[in-house]
Structure 1
């Protein structure tokens, strides 16, 4: 849920030792910006659609009210496949590790802070207000949060404060914010370089494993053992993007994949549960996690360089607002189309996704494009 533009960093080089001002080394030419990694934009949208498939047809709960029955009956075969869509979040985290390391490299702490806040908050604020307003309508059957909790949601601190969430997906933003803070303090503040990034990544990974063993709540909040391997794996893949011969980065990424798939299998494997909504297998979970790492690795290595179509940039721009609004507002659309108008399940699914993409386009054009640069400029002033 972050921008996928590569920001080059000027590397310090030593000139030749020729004597005399006439032979002073010429300044290195300014590095030309690398092209935008449009394949990364496309992968972000794929991850968002995976999550949407899970929310619309891969789980029970409130979506059952929208369909008027369990999605198991709406999608007798596909509901099992949709159940793996929740792993789109972990794919997002791998992408986020890659992009945050890329965008934080060479930036000051002020610029980094301004970039993150201006990227996250405008669309988030509007999404919170929009979902709260829609759920307050008498025609909508879902219960809204209290006015006090809705206001707290505007801070993105509702989870640690114990307030009800307006957006179901906002828990992932709380995870992202903690990652941003760790990276800012340990890498951006002292200045990013390969050695410091590797020390931060290896130290965080080891500390997260120890925190998992200690079962200390405060350590879990700070170090996020379950999600750390995905962020760190993305960081390792960015180091590989900078130098594909970096053996330390390859080793770091491989260890992160092995630990990450272990956590996901432990959390999501339910083939032995006869009452499970859908039965996820160990092989299926590992395959989806491997897909996330492999897809970002292919982009890091330049194998998808030909996937440079302009529409992928648009897809990337729609991903974040789509992710924010698709769950709860999607359920409202499903209820209206399927239960009120009698639209078949498959058509309802497709039309709901399309309608949420259109809403995301409106949010991008009317909220993000005008407000993000202004907020970034305001926060960048000293």
Structure 2
């Protein structure tokens, strides 16, 4: 198997990542408001696309890394920004009435326990709901780490196969239970830590890994072409299940309650388009090379997506409340909130995170970058 990776910057990954962050943000700040519920009703699909991007990027960053290098790079990527975001989030929770978040439809937990879990990125509760995806990411990192110990890139294909064979049957069972109306019992994971088994979301990491493997090898064996088709079907079933589970939580809009068919069709269409962009961006990375100034701008957008995602609910609800108190309507308040969240995320990503990361490297004796992957981290 060839392990050659593209030397060009894959601009499409950061563009998709940033688009997904905006989608998730607008969704979370609008879906409980009757007058805004149609602003981005499919925005939750951005999380699934995040997992696909992780499958690509983590496979790439691990391909030439030792176990220690991989651990360093993942720690420095996840934790400094998360710690700074937790400071912002907890500070706002201490200074803003909790009714503000309830009015915005944003779930929060202002307890020290939730703060601790938001710092370690694991546990049963967090400062706000967006953090639920991070233990899933960590579980995937752990699986990749085992693959590195077991033989490096040669083990990535078995990992992708394992994720398909574990996740697709679960998604079939999950979607069937929602249609037929029977309970899964212990196998209903909700948003809890049992998702770290990757039975539900492993399909998305597998898609990303297969995209990366296709880009590395230029072809897949017949078995893996079948598994890729199967995992794409599994993704469709998981998206259907998510729509079924959350449709009742939307505020009734001007045309009445949201329909499952509308949610599923829109989410599937967006997922298909963004997945295609990810694959084509990898395939044509050497051809689609932006000018340096454009690449720097898009790279900055990609870097700020992680803190943006972590702070968008609490900071967004705070700004929405302040803007509406000054007479702005819901749409105008949202247009104010987005750049405020973006500016705060930019300060974290461009200034706070690098300073904290360098301090950690000095403290632990880690000099320089842990890996030099060419794809966005």
* Fold shared by both chains (TM-score > 0.5): yes
Residue 80 of structure 1 deviates from its aligned partner by 2.9
What does 1:69-218 align with in structure 2 at a 5 Å threshold? 71-73=33-35, 75=36, 79-80=37-38, 82-137=40-95, 141=99, 142=101, 145-159=110-124, 164-185=125-146, 187-194=147-154, 196-209=155-168, 217=187
Aligned counterpart, 1:52: 25
Residue 125 of structure 1 deviates from its aligned partner by 0.8
The 3 A distance-change label for structure 1 pair 349 and 99 is same
Cα displacement string for residues 1-49 of structure 1 (whole angstroms, at most 9, x for unaligned residues) = xxxxxxxx996xxxxxxxxxxxxxxxxxxx9971221221111101101
The 3 A distance-change label for structure 1 pair 105 and 254 is same
SS of corresponding position for 2:203: helix
The 3 A distance-change label for structure 1 pair 131 and 293 is same
Question: Across the two proteins, how many residue pairs are aligned to each other?
Answer: 333
Measure the CA separation in 2 of the matches of 1:246 and 1:82: 36
Question: In 2, are the aligned partners of 1:330 and 1:356 still within 8 Å (CA)?
Answer: yes
Residue 366 of structure 1 deviates from its aligned partner by 2.4
Question: In 1, are the aligned partners of 2:203 and 2:234 still within 8 Å (CA)?
Answer: yes
Unaligned 5+ segments in structure 1 are: 1-8, 12-30, 61-70
Aligned counterpart, 1:4: none
SS of corresponding position for 1:189: helix
Measure the CA separation in 2 of the matches of 1:123 and 1:274: 30
Aligned counterpart, 1:268: 243
Measure the CA separation in 2 of the matches of 1:274 and 1:319: 26
Question: In 2, are the aligned partners of 1:97 and 1:233 still within 8 Å (CA)?
Answer: yes
* TM-score normalised by structure 2 residue count: 0.79
SS of corresponding position for 1:193: helix
Cα displacement string for residues 115-159 of structure 1 (whole angstroms, at most 9, x for unaligned residues) = 111101111111112211111115564575223432343211222
**Does residue 336 in structure 1 map to residue 309 in structure 2?**
no
Question: In 2, are the aligned partners of 1:140 and 1:332 still within 8 Å (CA)?
Answer: no
Picking from 350, 353, 356, the partner of 1:365 is 350
Measure the CA separation in 2 of the matches of 1:236 and 1:36: 19
Picking from 194, 199, 219, the partner of 1:245 is 219
Unaligned 5+ segments in structure 2 are: 102-107, 174-183, 253-257, 368-377
Measure the CA separation in 2 of the matches of 1:183 and 1:365: 28
Aligned counterpart, 2:234: 259
Picking from 252, 255, 259, the partner of 1:279 is 259
Aligned counterpart, 1:21: none
Question: In 2, are the aligned partners of 1:42 and 1:312 still within 8 Å (CA)?
Answer: yes
* TM-score normalised by structure 1 residue count: 0.78
**More relative contact order in 1 or in 2 (CA 8 Å, sep 6+)?**
2
Measure the CA separation in 2 of the matches of 1:245 and 1:198: 13
Measure the CA separation in 1 of the matches of 2:74 and 2:270: 28
Structure index of larger Rg: 1
Cα displacement string for residues 39-69 of structure 1 (whole angstroms, at most 9, x for unaligned residues) = 2111110110110111111x22xxxxxxxxx
SS of corresponding position for 2:233: helix
* RMSD of aligned Cα (Å): 3.1
Measure the CA separation in 2 of the matches of 1:329 and 1:250: 43
The 3 A distance-change label for structure 1 pair 275 and 380 is closer
SS of corresponding position for 2:120: coil
Measure the CA separation in 1 of the matches of 2:98 and 2:353: 27
The 3 A distance-change label for structure 1 pair 355 and 183 is same
Measure the CA separation in 1 of the matches of 2:272 and 2:6: 30
Measure the CA separation in 2 of the matches of 1:140 and 1:215: 33
Residue 375 of structure 1 deviates from its aligned partner by 3.1
What does 1:1-20 align with in structure 2 at a 5 Å threshold? none
SS of corresponding position for 1:246: coil
